Structure 1
């Protein structure tokens, strides 16, 4: 018999608009034209962008991979510090979206 209590996986996910990233203005046009957004997109674990006209542009970033991603592809100025601070608050993942 499976012990239900031991099979529970708890994590914290932060819901965050791309415009809350360091050096991204609230009125950005092309998201991939913003270095911080492009870095997040390139390093996210989950992408949801292929759903027609609805305009969904969502990404889940796994903060457990932060050091690896920093070593592999240097993030734009201030982004590593911002993501590290979020991880240090106890978050495991960030759901990035455009706030639609």
Structure 2
């Protein structure tokens, strides 16, 4: 089975602080953010709501996309989120499955 890579956007709340990241295990990585295991920006600003993600089969393309998104103006990131998730719902329960 081919590996998958994920570019994701977290937010602190609707219209709040935004963080863009990349990982090869989306469920694990978001759990780490939510359980405050990740030091730095997301912990400091309370950013742990998964509001958007993309799936890639190639790590280079995922990293390239992450870097591109990080350079985007905030308004573009908000537009991308709201095109796919207008209410900024936390998508983590959908990807994590039943507890």
Bigger radius of gyration among the two = 1
Which structure has more relative contact order (CA 8 Å, sep 6+)? It is: 1
Q: TM-score category by the smaller chain?
A: under 0.3
